[in-house]
Amino acid sequence: MAARTLLPVLHAHLVSLRGLLVIAETERARRELATMAGETAVTAGQLWHTLHDLGEAVAAYRFALRLAHDMEEESIRAMALTGMGLLYANRLHEGEGLPAEPERAVTLLKAAETAAIAGASAHMRVWLYASRSWEHAGLGQAVAAGRDLDAAHRALAQTSAPHEGFHAPWDATYLLVCRGKCAMLLGDPIAGMRRFEEAARDHEQSAMARAYYGIELARACAAAGEGDRALALLTEAAAVAADTNTTMLTRRIEMIARRDLAPLAGHPGMRALRERLFSAEIPEDGDATILL
């Protein structure tokens, strides 16, 4: 489902969960409901992030943090801090994110690690460490990035249950993509391209995931001098961006086309890309109803 369609559904679900929390009869039920509510709020924050409505994303994560405090659930705190950390600008994604000192994302992700140690699942640690790896790489900290990739790999090996529900996106393919991001940020686009190509062979990914991963592969192809291939990948991703009105996809495609594929500005394929990219009217940021 597109983010703009799914957000009202999540809102209604969260309202129901908050009502059930009040009348929960056992501690076990209370904690299960709290976890569901935390996952719902964090998912809402992620969706607002994809729409580039960062104010609403922050509000969703703060709600999850309040819930974590009230329910004394460190796993919810770890989820919320991880999502919030990824809101801050990173040089991989030009023009995206909240402005702050470059270390802000890593600082929040270290706080998420502290919370995760207290009881977050292995699935949660995969997301945390894999995401933090490329934040470290964005700061030029290759050793720290490598440590996080190793930690994510160990956590992945501990995930006996399938990656489904809230944790579905953060699997072995996501870890491959994060390895590719690290390689790109540390100046090795060929290694990055190999990782992204390997991830692209996972045909079970959703259309949205394939679009995001295809954009990363396109960035690597452009850096490696394969402009035509990069343009084709961006055109495929643009179809998903237009169908779903996903602001983040649109911005990333535009940025790569403008910055990395500038020599192809007059290419017929570039004109086709722009036509496809803007085939759907994308609402202005902040026009949706406030969720929390």
Task: Decide: 218 and 170 in contact? Cβ < 8 Å.
Answer: no
Strand partners, 51: none
Best CA proximity match to 93, nearest among 216, 204, 180, 244? 216
Question: Has residue 37 got a pLDDT over 90?
Answer: yes
Query: Does residue 214 contact residue 199 with C-beta atoms inside 8 Å?
Result: no
Tokens of 188: 């090795």
Q: How confident is the model at residue 68 (pLDDT cuts 50, 70, 90)?
A: very high
Q: Is residue 205 part of a domain?
A: yes
Task: Decide if 65 is inside a domain.
Answer: yes
- The answer to whether position 179 is within a domain reads no
Q: Which domain holds residue 214?
A: 188-292
CA angle centred on 165, ends 65 and 23, rounded to 5°: 55
Longest dimension (CA), the chain: 66
Last residue of a domain, one of 83, 100, 120: 120
CA dihedral (89, 282, 243, 59) positive or negative: positive
Q: Identify the pLDDT of residue 277.
A: 77
Would you say residue 47 lies in a domain? yes
Q: Tell me the CA end-to-end span of the chain in Å, nearest whole number.
A: 20
Task: List, for residues 158-182, the tens digit of each pLDDT value.
Answer: 998 778 888 888 999 999 999 999 9
Mean pLDDT, to the nearest integer, of 15-31?
90
Last residue of a domain, one of 85, 103, 120: 120
Report the pLDDT value the prediction gives residue 125, as an integer from 0 to 100.
Answer: 95
Residues 102 and 195 in one domain: no
My answer on whether 291 and 193 are in the same domain is: yes
pLDDT more than 70, % of the chain: 95
Which of 72, 87, 120 is the C-terminal boundary of a domain? 120
Q: How far apart are CA 12 and CA 14, in angstroms?
A: 5
The verdict on residue 68 lying in a domain is yes
* Mean pLDDT calculated for residue range 34-55: 94
User: Per the structure, how many domains does the chain have?
Assistant: 2
User: Does some domain include residue 237?
Assistant: yes
- For residue 3, being part of any structural domain is answered with no
Provide the pLDDT for residue 279: 64
pLDDT, position 286: 40
Task: Give pTM, 2 decimals.
Answer: 0.89
Asked whether residue 169 is assigned to any structural domain, the reply reads no
